[in-house]
Structure 1
Amino acid sequence: MAKRNVIWTRTADIQFVGILEYWVKRNKSNTYSKKLVKLVSERTKQIADEPLIYKATDFKDVRLASMGNFSIYYKVADNEITITAFWDNRQNPKKLLEILENKK
């Protein structure tokens, strides 16, 4: 199967950047954020190569790739993977529910 392009929604991109900025401010260093960028990059490449290896969710066509304290929610199409949410699992899950329900 051909490798798919990975596209981030505006919502997922804002979430990811917000988390990176939070950790830079909190740690007064960008070391952790750089590590997180590398981990996310590796995981999205893995998702593009083998999109069905991660867990399906209760939301139509949405799958979940966990990474410890973070989760990547995505949809699989023939030629692309759409990242719909990048979530810090320590946040209020009701906020995530609102995001996923609006992305049907």
Structure 2
Amino acid sequence: MAKRNVVWTRTADIQFVGILEYWAKRNKSTSYSKKLLKLVSERTKQISEKPLIYKTTDFKDTRVASLGNFSFYYKVNDKEIIITAFWDNRQNPKKLLKILKSKK
């Protein structure tokens, strides 16, 4: 399978930036946020190279890749991988359900 471009939806981008900002503010340092950014970059690269290695979900054409306390929800098509949500697994799952249902 050829490497595909990864596209973040506005929702996923807002979630990810919000998480980075939360940890920077909470820790009064950007070191954890920078570490998380590096890990996310590595996982995104892995998803672009082998998008089908992660689990399917109950949502149409949506897969999930875990990264510690976080999960990527994404869809694969012929040209690209679309990250639909970046989720902190410690949040209320009902909020995630609402997001994933809106991305059908």
Taking structure 2 as the reference length, what is the TM-score of the superposition? 0.99
Q: Identity rate of aligned residues, in percent?
A: 82
Task: State the partner residue of 1:44.
Answer: 44
Looking at structure 2, the residues matched to 21 and 97 of structure 1 have their Cα atoms a distance apart, in angstroms, of 23
Structure 2's unaligned 5+ residue stretches are none
Secondary structure at the counterpart of residue 72 of structure 1: strand
CA distance in 1 between counterparts of 2:2 and 2:73 reads 21
- Looking at structure 2, the residues matched to 60 and 4 of structure 1 have their Cα atoms a distance apart, in angstroms, of 20
> Any idea what SS the aligned residue of 2:63 has?
strand
1:2-36: per-residue Cα shift (whole Å, max 9, x none)? 21000000000000000000000000000000000
Q: How does 1:26-41 map to 2 (within 5 A)?
A: 26-41=26-41
Matching residue of 2:5? 5
Which residue of structure 2 aligns with residue 16 of structure 1?
16
- Report the count of equivalent residues: 104
- Identify the residue that residue 82 of structure 1 maps to in structure 2: 82
Q: Distance in 2 between matches of 1:68 and 1:38?
A: 13
Tell me the C-alpha RMSD between the 2 structures: 0.4
| One-letter amino acid of the structure 2 residue matched with residue 100 of structure 1 | L
Counterpart for residue 72 of structure 1: 72
Q: Kindly report structure 1 stretches of 4+ aligned residues shifted beyond 3 Å.
A: none
What corresponds to 2:95 in structure 1? Answer: 95
